[in-house]
Structure 1
């Protein structure tokens, strides 16, 4: 099973998202971030399950979770979460 790690950018994305949701509903923020982290961790089971997104960069893959994209790449057999972005953001940004 692959290990999953979050880049600094992805950690910042999670923290900012949690803060944004918590302004209105701290319980919802905790629940959503927990579910999002589980979705990230599940990538360790079948890391190649989700399609490559070459428009985002070489070796980049994208998993959608609710209205967010988990942007990741494989390093060997391990998964590195590059960023977590809202689906409404520019789909052609590069990572």
Structure 2
């Protein structure tokens, strides 16, 4: 089974997304994180399903989930989630 690795920034992104949504609706925040997590598991099984974004960073790929982008790269035993950001973020200026 392919593994999903998350960078420290990706984990912080997920916490921030949950906190932002949970301010208004904790159940919606939980549901969104569930959808993001399920998408990551599917990506690990089919890592080339997300389009490449070599213009941002070599080897980077993405998948859209609701209004968010999962930015990831393929690694030896699965995928590494690099960031999870809102789709309106400037992807060329992520810290």
Tell me the CA shift for residue 94 of structure 1.
Answer: 5.8
The answer (yes or no) to whether the contact 1:56–1:94 under 8 Å persists in 2 is no
Output aligned runs, 1:1-95, within 5 Å: 1-93=1-93
Unpaired stretches in structure 1, ≥5 consecutive residues: none
RMSD: 1.5
Q: 2-side partners of 1:4 and 1:66: how far apart?
A: 20
The CA deviation at 1:5 is: 1.2
How high is the TM-score relative to the length of structure 1?
0.91
Instruction: Give the Cα separation in 2 of the matches to 1:40 and 1:79.
Output: 8
- Structure 2 unaligned blocks of 5 or more: none
Alignment TM-score, normalising by the size of structure 2: 0.91
> 1:32-91 deviations in whole A, cap 9, x for unaligned?
111111111111111011111012101000111111110000112420000001010113
Q: Matches of 1:91 and 1:7 in 2, distance apart?
A: 17
Q: Distance in 1 between matches of 2:79 and 2:4?
A: 5
